[in-house]
Structure 1
Amino acid sequence: MADLTQMTTIDTQTEPRGELTVRTMPMPADTNQAGDIFGGYVMSQMDIAGAICAIERVGGRVATVAVKGMTFIAPVKVGDVLCIYAWIEKIGTTSITIGLEGWTKNRENPTRTKVSDAHFIYVALDDDGKKRVIT
């Protein structure tokens, strides 16, 4: 059996990477059976932030085509302020890869905590929903 203490890495990052793109407060309806915010809720907020970043860069419609490396680092609690930061990692012919980090602040502790990171890939679309070249 693997020693989990050797597999766990401690994230010592203290500042978010990228630009603040989405800021929201999850509510009790967004919780799982343990009382933490659903991972799917966090993932959807990251997808929204990634799409905003991609749309601004490509100048039009995009669609999510892949999620590359979504990691949940710490739980998000009801009442936390969830902040999603985004940046452009790579631009291809028709696709764009956006890096994302989720950070929280809570009422008791104003220090930010990194709770997730991911890389989402979007494709640029024309008005008919077909792939288009990013200029």
Structure 2
Amino acid sequence: MSYQRNSSEMGTHPELVEMRERLERTASSGPAIAVEGLILLAGVYAAISPWVVHFAGQANITVNNLIVGITVGLIGLGLALAPERMLRVAWVIAPLGIWLLIAPWVVTMTHSARAGIIWNNVWLGAVTAVLGLAAVGLTVGVNRRARARR
């Protein structure tokens, strides 16, 4: 009983309410919506890229891109649907982008990756990492502005 009372008091704490409102404002801004959409598109493209660039015959890199693409796409979808909850997870996108960038050399160790695979993953990884940093930057920028106002 006492746990529920403390839990409800925490949910109405002024600083927590203010933080939620700040995150909602950030998530509904034009740049945030653009970044969320681009992250979702990058994830979808990463997932389908083995078939677009015609390297689906190489199982390791195909499975890698499919899993990373689905992960990035789901995070992007989460950012679009529930940004106040997902902004804390946005930092995961940048390391996934870096992984996409280096994956052709790490995953295809038994045989060398074709130029198409390398170019696809390098560009896709770089774009995904930059989008991840942009998503994190939106959150950090809002937190800094809020601290400056206090």
TM, length-normalised to structure 2: 0.24
**Comparing both structures, which one devotes a greater share of its residues to strand?**
1
Greater Cα radius of gyration, structure 1 or 2: 2
Structure with bigger helix share is 2
